[in-house]
């Protein structure tokens, strides 16, 4: 289940794993695109998020097709984690 606590955890994961300086979870919009517009993450960030999600939540993104859906926004990430974490 997606709740506010999980949303905040995902935002903190993004900040910590990508080492984005001077940013707090409140600065990240839950439904904004992660790549391009919105947060403006890049190729390497995407891969680092894959690693971080497995480390912190035990959730694996198996392939590019799944990744394209998972990494649309903070909410989609949280939804995937909620469905798949052990």
Partner 1 sequence: MRLYSGLNLFFIKLFTLLVPRFLHPACAMFTGCIFYLLLRDIRRHVRSNIRAVTGRRDVERLVISTFYKFSRNWVDILLMMRWRGSRLNSMIGRRSGGHYLDEAMARGNGAILISPHLGNWELGGLGLAEMGYRINVLTFREPDEKVNELREKVRAERGINFIYVDRNDTSPLAIIEAVNALRRNEILALLGDRDGSSHTAVMEFFGRPAAIPLGAAYLGLASGAPVFPVFVPLEGNRYSTVMEAPVYFAGGHSSHKNAVLEGTARILRVFERYIREYPDQWYNFYDYWRVSDNARNGGQVDRL
Chain residues that interact with partner 1, rule: CB under 8 A = 18-21, 41-48, 50-51, 54, 60-64, 66-68, 71
| CB nearer to partner 1: pick between 3 and 85 | 85
* Residue that has been written with the tokens 């990494």 in this structure: 71
Question: In 10 A of CB 65, how many CB atoms?
Answer: 9
| Residue 11 neighbours by CB under 8 Å, 6+ apart | 25, 28, 30, 74
| CB nearer to partner 1: pick between 15 and 82 | 15
Q: How near is the Cβ of 15 to partner 1 at its closest, in Å?
A: 9
Q: How near is the Cβ of 1 to partner 1 at its closest, in Å?
A: 26
| CB nearer to partner 1: pick between 4 and 21 | 21
- Euclidean distance between CA atoms 6 and 37, whole angstroms: 23
């Amino acid at each position: 289940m997606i709740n506010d606590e999980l949303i905040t955890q995902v935002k903190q994961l993004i900040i910590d794993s990508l080492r984005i300086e001077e940013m707090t979870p409140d600065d990240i919009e839950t439904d904004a695109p992660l790549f391009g517009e919105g947060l403006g993450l890049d190729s390497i960030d995407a891969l680092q998020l894959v690693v971080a999600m497995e480390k912190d939540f035990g959730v694996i993104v198996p392939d590019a097709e799944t990744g394209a859906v998972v990494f649309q926004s903070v909410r989609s990430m949280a939804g995937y984690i909620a469905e798949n974490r052990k």
